[in-house]
Chains A and B, each alone.
Chain A
Amino acid sequence: MRLWRPFILLIPLLMGVFAVHYSCSDNRPKDSIPVQQSGSTLTGHWGLEKLSDYGLFQGRLADLIPAEGVLPYDLNMPLFSDYALKARFVKMPEGKKAIYNDKSVFEFPEGTILIKNFLYPNDFRDETKGRKIIETRLLIHESSGWKALPYIWNEEQTEAYLEVAGGRKEISWIHTDGKQKTLQYSIPNVNQCKGCHVKASRLIPIGPSARQLNKNFAYSDGIMNQLLRWRNAGILDQLPDDLSQCPTVPDWNHPEGSSLESRARAYLDINCAHCHSKEGPANTSGLLLDIHETNPSSLGIYKAPVAAGRGSGNLLYDIVPGKPQESILLYRMQSTDPGVMMPELGRKMVHEEGVQLISEWIAAMKPSSF
Chain B
Amino acid sequence: MHRYFAFVLILVALAACTSQQITYQDIEKQLQTQLILAADGDTLHLPEGYFKFSGSLSLDGKKSLVIRGAGMDKTVLSFKNQQEGSEGLKITNCENLRLYDFTIQDTKGDCIKIQKTKNLVIRNVKAEWTGKPKKTNGSYAFYPVDCDSVLIENCIAIGASDAGIYVGQSRDVIVRACEAFHNVAGIEIENCLRADVYNNLSHHNTGGILIFDMPELTQSGNGVRVFNNTVRKNNYRNFAPEGNIVHEVPPGTGIMVLATDNVEIFDNKVHDNKTIGTAIVSYLLVKKKHNDANFDPYPKKVFIYNNEYKNAWYRLPALSYDLGRLLWLRFPLKRPAIIYDGIKDPSATGPDGNYLEQYRICIRNNSNGTFANVDAGNGFKNISTNPAPFDCEHPKLQPVALPL
Contact = CB atoms under 8 A, between A and B. Distances in A.
A complexed with B: yes
Interface of A: 9, 12-13, 15-17, 19-20, 23-24, 26-29, 32-44, 164-167, 184, 186, 189-192, 194-195, 198, 201, 281, 283-284, 286, 295-298, 302-317, 328, 337-339, 341, 344-345, 348
Interface string B36-51: 1111111111111110
B21 A27 contact: yes
A214 B43 CA distance: 48
Given A309-B162, A338-B85, A32 B25 contact: yes
B119 to A, nearest CB: 16
B116 interface: yes
Interface centre among B30, B84, B242 (most CB of A within 10 A): B84
Given A286-B217, A307-B162, A339-B86, A35 B31 contact: yes
A29 B291 CA distance: 55
Contact of B291 (A192, A303, A311): A303
A191 B166 CA distance: 24
What is the predominant secondary structure among interface residues of chain A facing chain B? loop
14 contacts: A19-B14, A20-B10, A24-B21, A40-B41, A40-B42, A42-B39, A286-B215, A297-B290, A307-B166, A308-B243, A310-B139, A313-B243, A315-B243, A345-B85
A5 B129 CA distance: 50
Given A184-B83, A303-B216, A337-B108, 18 more contacts: A9-B6, A19-B13, A39-B43, A42-B39, A195-B90, A198-B92, A281-B92, A281-B116, A284-B115, A284-B168, A304-B290, A307-B139, A308-B244, A309-B109, A309-B140, A312-B244, A315-B242, A316-B242
B6 A16 contact: yes
Given A164-B33, A312-B243, A12 B22 contact: no
A194 B60 contact: yes
A34 B292 CA distance: 50
Contacts of B34: 35, 37
Interface in B42-99: 42-50, 55-56, 58-61, 82-86, 90, 92-93
A345 B84 contact: yes
Nearest to A9: B2
Contact of B138 (A29, A191, A201, A339): A339
Query: What are the 10 tightest A-B residue pairs by CB atom distance, in nearest-first order?
Result: A309-B139, A312-B243, A16-B10, A297-B291, A339-B108, A39-B42, A29-B49, A33-B47, A191-B58, A286-B216
Given A35-B27, A40-B39, A191-B59, A338 B109 contact: yes
Contacts of B143: 307
B44 A297 contact: no
B47 A35 contact: yes
Contacts, number: 233
A82 to B, nearest CB: 12
Contact of A338 (B49, B82, B92, B217): B82
A39 B68 CA distance: 13
Contacts of B50: 27, 29
Contacts of A296: 291
A26 B73 CA distance: 13
A192 B43 contact: no
A254 to B, nearest CB: 31
A312 B41 CA distance: 39
Interface residues of B, number: 88
A34 to B, nearest CB: 6
B46 A310 contact: no
Contact of A13 (B6, B17, B135): B6
B29 interface: yes
Nearest to B134: A310
Given A43-B39, A190-B36, A297 B7 contact: no
B145 interface: yes
A116 to B, nearest CB: 20
Contacts of A306: 168, 214, 216-217
A304 B139 contact: no
Contacts of A345: 84-85
A341 B86 CA distance: 8
B216 A298 contact: yes
B27 A34 contact: yes
Contact of A310 (B31, B37, B136): B136
Contacts of A338: 82-86, 108-109
B32 interface: yes
Nearest to B46: A35
A112 B109 CA distance: 37
Contacts of A27: 21-23, 50
B387 interface: no
Contacts of B90: 191, 195
B320 interface: no
A302 B161 contact: no
Contacts of A38: 42-43, 45
Interface string B125-138: 00000000001111
Contacts of A312: 241-244
A29 B23 contact: yes
Given A9-B6, A13-B6, A195-B92, A284 B217 contact: yes
A210 B336 CA distance: 63
Nearest to A286: B216
